[in-house]
Structure 1
Amino acid sequence: MRGLAGKAILVTGSSTGIGYAMAQRLVADGAKVLVHGRDEAEVAAACRHLGASAQGATGDLADPATAQTLIDATVKAFGRIDGLVNNAGIYPRGVLGETTATFFDHIFAINTRAPLLCAEAAIRAFRLQKSGGAIVTVGSINAYCGLSNLTVYSMSKGALMTMTRNLANALGPEHIRVNQLNVGWTFTANEDATQQREGQKPGWQDHVPLKLAPTGRIMQPEEIAAHTAFWLSDESAPVSGQLYEAEQYPLIGRV
């Protein structure tokens, strides 16, 4: 991918799942990646597999201080930071009528507050470098409505759309681009475990209703990673403030 060689990029939540696939793609395209996760062993294993172009850091994004710590770790590891992927997120199920303040606050702390704090810390670093930068935030198609057991999750992702547009509108003159991927149903180990807990049989991901996945399967992390690499790279410049639906079907006009 042209426009990524030598760039230093932080990917939150990248020791496993979609984030790890993103780190793999970015390293393959010549970037240097700061791998983040909460488990030290998982982060270390990811870095071993990714090789010399990756270094790791741990931290709980529910802690507001973690955002600045991760940006600082990226700059310390590579001498600079050129891109941020706000990938980390949680999606616990809920029940309408039973939402607690604790449940709500925890989801918003990780899914909404942390991306903003990471973005602001990255922006400060970009400004010191005076060389611009790129931020890609991972949202969800659930932001447009969502299922009844994902109300708070959907709200947290909806807020990110406003954040993306707001930051892009403010930062364009500084050559800092901010875009968002609203990701559709994608297979990961965590999603597999969730589906099996809810009664699906192993291999369910290859036999989903065509209404939900017109190709007959849900998307793979590597496919989302390819879109992420494009929006981080110079190939997508100067476009900013865009909400890109990484989904198999159009969200508007579907019957």
Structure 2
Amino acid sequence: MRGLAGKAILVTGSSTGIGYAMAERLVAEGAKVLIHGRDRGEVDAAVARLGPATAGATGDLAEPETAQAIVDATLAAFGRIDGLVNNAGIYPRGILGETTAAFFDHMFAINTRAPLLCAEAAIRAFRAWKSPGAIVTVGSINAYCGLSNLTVYSMSKGALMTMTRNLANTLGPERIRANQLNVGWTWTANEDATQQREGQPPGWQNHVPLRHAPTGRIMQPEEIAAHTAFWLSDDSAPVSGQIYEAEQFPVIGRG
């Protein structure tokens, strides 16, 4: 164990995909986890699979009040909150020249505003308990540029890097840490469905060009979960304000 035993952690968007893998890893390392999602059936199923160290809450992060509600649910379930993983996010495609205000606002509401509101709610709880806390925000390699059909998504993730550094700079004296994982291409059921809709054949994830994945495959959710557990744990303290590239290749200076 690495300093996670007994800690209560909220993971947004954790009923499926990468978030579920994070919850599974945290439970395996002794933490208690609040499973969050929009679909009650998916949340209940995740809680049933992961067992008594978990509890569930539903809520749409596009609604501002959800952030406080799920932090309150964590406190109600476990009596405390020691960590927050801002994992939930959306990545609909867009076309340059056709971006609408509604598309932009929805993307930023979930990918950028919600992580800030969740962080603020968690910070209030950390302060109330006068104890250190850890925030890990899931960003994306796309934050540095991104593809032409992911312009608004990339912008939403770029803003999170500034948020993470700002939180760390502000909260350091209170021993509240904030770090970010800029995650590279990772397999999930949703990503699989997206790629197949865009013309990729079943099993595409095992035949990715080495240019995009030097190991010949894209990353798996459990691999991202391992990095998340480290940044939440006491093993990574007192480091804060870091943007950690969870990717297979160097982001800067790549030939």
Q: How does 1:168-247 map to 2 (within 5 A)?
A: 168-247=168-247
Q: Deviations over 1:128-183 (max 9, x none)?
A: 00011000000000000000000000000000000000000000000000000000
Q: Deviations over 1:58-92 (max 9, x none)?
A: 00000000000000000000000000000000000
Q: Deviations over 1:209-230 (max 9, x none)?
A: 0000000000000000000000
Asked whether 1:7 is paired with 2:29, we answer no
TM-score by length of 2: 1.00
Q: CA deviation at 1:125?
A: 0.2
Asked whether 1:16 is paired with 2:22, we answer no
- Taking the aligned partners of 1:82 and 1:102, their CA distance within structure 2 comes to 35
Aligned partner of residue 22 in structure 2, secondary structure? helix
Q: Deviations over 1:11-43 (max 9, x none)?
A: 000000000000000000000000000000000
Aligned partner of residue 125 in structure 2, secondary structure? helix
Q: How does 1:22-171 map to 2 (within 5 A)?
A: 22-171=22-171
Amino acid at match of 1:46: A
The total of aligned residue pairs comes to: 255
**Residue in structure 2 matched with residue 254 of structure 1 by the alignment:** 254
State the superposition RMSD in angstroms.
0.3
Amino acid at match of 1:38: R
Q: CA deviation at 1:2?
A: 1.2
Structure 1 consecutive aligned stretches of length 4 or more whose deviation exceeds 4 Å = none
Aligned partner of residue 36 in structure 1, secondary structure? strand
Identity %: 85
- Taking the aligned partners of 2:106 and 2:31, their CA distance within structure 1 comes to 32
Unaligned runs of 5+ in 1: none
Amino acid at match of 1:241: G
Amino acid at match of 2:55: Q
Aligned partner of residue 97 in structure 2, secondary structure? coil
Q: Deviations over 1:231-252 (max 9, x none)?
A: 0000000000000000000001
- Taking the aligned partners of 1:14 and 1:202, their CA distance within structure 2 comes to 25
Aligned partner of residue 173 in structure 1, secondary structure? helix
- Taking the aligned partners of 2:50 and 2:103, their CA distance within structure 1 comes to 35
- Taking the aligned partners of 1:167 and 1:41, their CA distance within structure 2 comes to 34
Unaligned runs of 5+ in 2: none
Aligned partner of residue 241 in structure 1, secondary structure? coil
- Taking the aligned partners of 1:187 and 1:138, their CA distance within structure 2 comes to 15
Amino acid at match of 2:203: G
- Taking the aligned partners of 1:125 and 1:205, their CA distance within structure 2 comes to 41
- Taking the aligned partners of 2:107 and 2:2, their CA distance within structure 1 comes to 36
Amino acid at match of 1:244: Y
- Taking the aligned partners of 1:144 and 1:225, their CA distance within structure 2 comes to 22
- Taking the aligned partners of 1:166 and 1:172, their CA distance within structure 2 comes to 10
Amino acid at match of 2:74: T
- Taking the aligned partners of 1:132 and 1:216, their CA distance within structure 2 comes to 40
TM-score by length of 1: 1.00
- Taking the aligned partners of 1:216 and 1:202, their CA distance within structure 2 comes to 16
